[in-house]
Amino acid sequence: MMWIAVAILQIVIIVAGIQHEQRAGLWSWSKFVFALAFGGLEVSILLTPIMLMDVRSPRFMPVFCAAGFVAALNFIWMIIVARRWKLPDGRTSLQAWRDEHPKK
């Protein structure tokens, strides 16, 4: 039953974050959907060896480690790409973050 409370709390946090980003002019639904699809791809990369191979096989661990390595490289690539995304006002997401969090 605790998972229900965690799920509700997660939804509340997500909705609050979306509203905050929309007010700041930094929100994009297409990028949100892309990020969700990317998360699905990462999960599928990691779950494929588990679903298709015998876990007790001597080849399982090397294949699973290779899948984890590919997922990690893919995640690093995604961070690089996401930092170059353009917002509606022409700034990149990194520039917008810097504008919101100036150095003191």
Tokens 């996401």, located at residue: 82
Question: pLDDT digits over 2-58, tens only?
Answer: 999 999 999 999 999 889 888 877 777 888 898 899 999 999 999 999 999 999 999
User: Which amino acid does the sequence have at 28?
Assistant: S
3-state secondary structure of 27: coil
Query: From the centroid of its chain, how far is CA 104?
Result: 30
Q: Are 96 and 87 in contact (CB under 8 A)?
A: yes
What are the tens digits of pLDDT across the range 45-102?
A: 999 999 999 999 999 999 999 999 999 999 999 888 877 777 777 777 777 778 877 8
pTM of the model: 0.69
